[in-house]
Amino acid sequence: MGIFKAQDSQTPVKHPIRPDFSSINPYSGPWTEKEMIHLLRRITFGATKASVDLLRKMSITDAVDFLIDNPILPTTTPVNNYTTGTDTGGVPFGSSWIDAGLPDPSDANTRTTLNNNRINASFKPWWMGQMINQRTHILEKMTLFWSNHFGVSTSPTYPKSVFQYHQLLRTYGLTNFKTLLKQVTINPQMLFFLSGYTNAKTAPNENYGRELQELFAIGKGPDSHYTEDDVKAAAKTLTGWQALQNTSDGTYYSVFTPARHDTTAKTFSSFYANKQIVSNGASETDALIDMLLQTTECAKFLVRKLYTWFVYYDITPEIETSVITPLANTFRNANYDIPTVLKALFKSEHFFDPANFGTIIKSPIDLYVSMVRELNLTLAASPVDVQYLHWKNFCDKCSAEAQNIGDTPNVAGWPAYYVTETKFYQTWMSNATIQVKAKNLNAFTSTGVTVSGVKLKVDAVAFTKQFVNAADPNALIAYFNLYLLPMDLNPTQLAYLKSRLVPPGENDAYWTNAWYAYINKPTDMTALTNVQTPLNAVINYITSLAEYFLY
């Protein structure tokens, strides 16, 4: 069955006209499963039945607050899953190399092999595991957002530095943008990646000063009028920061070295109100960040990035006026408090406008993580090497489809969130990756995928047992449509799905009897097969539809 092709129907996916007229006024419409699922799909990875049940007990306001407030950082750190026994860094199998407090091997070749294992076989799968096992909370989605916004790579390969950087994004990503930007600016991995550690008064390096304005705080919008001289002045302001490694435990830290700092006054253009930053050592970094945040364009740029990630990429002049500008004002008035602007967006009538449902093409991470979570795909919890290989299986699939977790293609992030020429999200659906996605999903919903001796296969029966009216074929198909697709299927598609449960010539009692026969005697293999086979067909069909690749 081909992707983007509904069996027995060639009806294309249609989107309603997008709502240029809706605003960020608080939403006061229906609060049903449909709205809850839309909110969960955008804020988390997929909408599980358990998460929906959790939100049922809350109002919209309480639900959004619950999804944003009180983030809880992961309780685990990446471990040695790649070497039986003790690795060359002295970390025993199953133990954390983050918490080991041991220096790296002195031999260069040994160190390179170890570092690559720690990044690619341990850290990246561990991160995938955090997304798959996330709480009903925005933390993991925001961590991925900031990793895209502040794009770095894992090269140079310093595993502890890489982990520290992404832990920073988790720690500060739901606090205050000013604090986050300062921490990113002086973080060792960012200093390594954009050569900030070489930035000295004798040879100012403009890399970070440029990206700080162009990609991190101001952007390249029509009202972004910073100059090349501003880039040079920013570079001089940031001179003196260095990244060093603690030889006792292998962790990294930044330090400001006054002797390397340019002590001249730095004068900026009229875009920054001709601001002058006078010599004040490390505090000049704070002055620079304050200057950036005082511009009107900074808040607008950040809100546009959030809008593109969470709502849609097409920011029309009407949306700029009715959504972006007031949200930016809210952001600035809240002194760049991140939860404040997120709550204003997710509680707005614009966010819940039906025309914004099902408008985003899933990224590879969204596709596979939401599939695992929504369909309750069981992955190994032990032993640790098998657990990590299961997580790595999804890392590898995402990487093959151009979303390498922890390694954006460049400092601008993934093209799907900034490249107009490729129509943003459509980047994820190239001719090459469409067939790969179809094959992968089909495997998980039909034959299964064997990883480290364990077959990973969607349990369609277990998924179905979540729904109270599973014995009613009409109600069941409606549940499948609601929980797995962002829009209503057409009558031909719904009829086809029902025909998988109720063969032609039979009435609804056919499925009802089959379901209760299984429920009353779940160990009866014939009864199990009689419900499992049609349910597998239904889920396999749904995951092959164009609609499944949207949220």
- DSSP letter string, 411-438: TT--GGGT-GGGTGGGGG--HHHHHHHH
pLDDT computed for residue 19 by the predictor = 55
| Side-chain-side CA neighbours of residue 367 (13 Å) | 32
- Residue-wise pLDDT for 48-74, tens only, equals 999 999 999 999 999 999 999 999 999
Report yes or no: 136 and 121 within 8 Å, Cβ to Cβ. Answer: no
pLDDT computed for residue 4 by the predictor = 40
pLDDT computed for residue 517 by the predictor = 98
Pick from 56-60, 127-131, 419-423: least confident: 419-423
- Residue-wise pLDDT for 200-232, tens only, equals 999 999 999 999 999 999 999 889 999 999 999
pLDDT mean over 125-146: 98
> Is the pLDDT score of 17 beyond 70?
no
pLDDT computed for residue 430 by the predictor = 84
> Is the pLDDT score of 400 beyond 50?
yes
pLDDT mean over 370-388: 97
> Is the pLDDT score of 15 beyond 80?
no
Pairing status of strand 241-245 against strand 252-256: antiparallel
pLDDT computed for residue 156 by the predictor = 81
Distance CA 190, CA 192 (A): 5
- Residue-wise pLDDT for 493-540, tens only, equals 999 999 999 999 999 999 999 999 999 999 999 999 999 999 999 999
Distance CA 153, CA 149 (A): 12
pLDDT computed for residue 104 by the predictor = 86
The domain segmentation of the chain, as residue ranges, is 176-294, 462-549
- Residue-wise pLDDT for 336-346, tens only, equals 999 999 999 99
Model pTM score:
0.95
Single-letter amino acid code for the residue at 334: A
Quote the mean pLDDT of the chain.
94
pLDDT computed for residue 18 by the predictor = 57
Token look-up 């089909």 returns 442
Percentage, residues of the chain above pLDDT 70? 96
- What confidence tier does 244 reach under pLDDT thresholds 50, 70, 90? very high
pLDDT computed for residue 11 by the predictor = 38
pLDDT computed for residue 10 by the predictor = 35
- What confidence tier does 420 reach under pLDDT thresholds 50, 70, 90? confident
pLDDT mean over 378-403: 97
Query: For residue 324, what are the contacts with CB-CB under 8 A and spacing of at least 6?
Result: 300, 303, 304, 307, 315
Percentage, residues of the chain above pLDDT 90? 92
- Residue-wise pLDDT for 254-281, tens only, equals 999 999 999 999 999 999 999 999 999 9
Distance CA 91, CA 99 (A): 10
Report yes or no: 279 and 235 within 8 Å, Cβ to Cβ. Answer: no
